[in-house]
Amino acid sequence: MLLKLNSIIIYGLGAFFLALALYPIYINILKKRKVGKTIREETITGEKAQIFIDLHKHKTGTPNLGWGMFLIIMALMIGLSLILQYYGIINNSLISRQETYITLFGFFSMGILWLIDDYLNVKWHGEIKGLSAKVKLLGMFIIAWFISRFFYTRLGIDYINLRPIAWKIDIGIFYPIITFIITVSIVNAINITDGLDGLAGGLMTIILMTLWIITFFYQTYIATTVIIILIAILLAFLRYNINPAKIFMGDSGAFALGWFLAALLYMLNMRMGIFIPFLVIFLIFIIETWSSGLQIIRKKYFKKKLFPVAPLHHMYEKAWHKETSIVMKAWLVQWILAAITMIAIFYQFNIPLLP
């Protein structure tokens, strides 16, 4: 177990220092190519987003393709593992059908698709508004459906585990439908929450740290290694993303993280049941999504705002709370939720602390 931990930590440190060294170069390249963020001027319901413009107009021009470095570092680490395996230095690469195949598929497929969209959005201001809505929706649905079908047809999973409320519940053909809806919901929740410097990146780092511990003690070491690499890149990214941000994650980061997290959730739920604890650790994202959804419904059907501005973090920002203060408090709450989740899993689900 200690040998495995040493190997996992080496991968994480390698990814962290590599990302830390490359991000300044990457940011300068983006600046030279003038790949900067453009502040949206309309809300989803079509009105002018004046409050949002006033709060965030100073961020115009900040590089918006931070997720590109995530893809580069992850690809380099996977390539390194394949080389080491080829020469017999290690037994397994980071590509494993049982542990990482589907998570990496979602990570790269969605990351690349939305990275293209982010690039088109910021490179040709107003001339090309990224990929068309139809292309993005089609891509999202195809990849989400592939992930759901993978667990249902390839792995034979047709149940959900709702411990400690209930044990395995067989849902048959409805499994891919339900997981499809959950995947799309998770992805959009992360994208909605990614609105302040360091907010979504920090929250996701804490969530992944929690899941890293769980996968390690459950002895899924290859998945654990991929998770720690992603955590390491996120930490390096946060060095340049905390206020005042020098680079943003972009929609590509939010969507790729969502797909990675959803696939990881299904893998862990298959082995031990984690849906209920996941609702706890994902609570901030759920609240943010509901605040945005309720705002849209109220404006569309009742022609009135429920909140001055949504999602919730922008409402706090409008109330003259400092952006850094909102983010730090959200991180604190996330650590508390992570602790509650760990207690629930280790003590109620009886995960062995030793192999």
Please list the residues that pair with 168 across neighbouring strands: 161
Letter string b/e over residues 123-155, b meaning 16 or more CB atoms within 10 A of that residue's CB: beeeeeebbeeeebeebbeebbbbbbebbbeee
Categorize the per-residue pLDDT at 323 as very low, low, confident or very high, splitting at 50, 70 and 90: confident
Contacts of 55 (CB under 8 A, 6+ apart): 314, 317, 318
Between 334 and 49, name the one with better pLDDT. 334
Is the residue at 233 inside a domain?
A: yes
Contacts of 355 (CB under 8 A, 6+ apart): 1, 219
Categorize the per-residue pLDDT at 335 as very low, low, confident or very high, splitting at 50, 70 and 90: very high
- The H-assigned helical ranges of the chain are 2-32, 50-56, 67-86, 101-123, 133-149, 174-193, 199-217, 221-241, 250-271, 275-281, 283-302, 312-318, 323-343
Is the residue at 353 inside a domain?
A: no
What is the rounded average pLDDT for all residues in the chain? 83
The pLDDT value given to residue 353: 47
Overall pTM > 0.95: no
Please list the residues that pair with 160 across neighbouring strands: 169
Please check the confidence at residue 12 and state whether its pLDDT lies above 50.
Answer: yes
Is the residue at 355 inside a domain?
A: no
Query: Of 81-90, 120-129, 136-145, 217-226, which range is least confident?
Result: 120-129
Is the residue at 354 inside a domain?
A: no
Is the residue at 252 inside a domain?
A: yes
Is the residue at 210 inside a domain?
A: yes
Interval 159-194: pLDDT, tens: 888 877 777 788 888 888 898 889 889 988 998 998
Structural domain span for residue 34 = 2-348
Is the residue at 257 inside a domain?
A: yes
* Structural domains counted in the chain: 1
Is the residue at 35 inside a domain?
A: yes
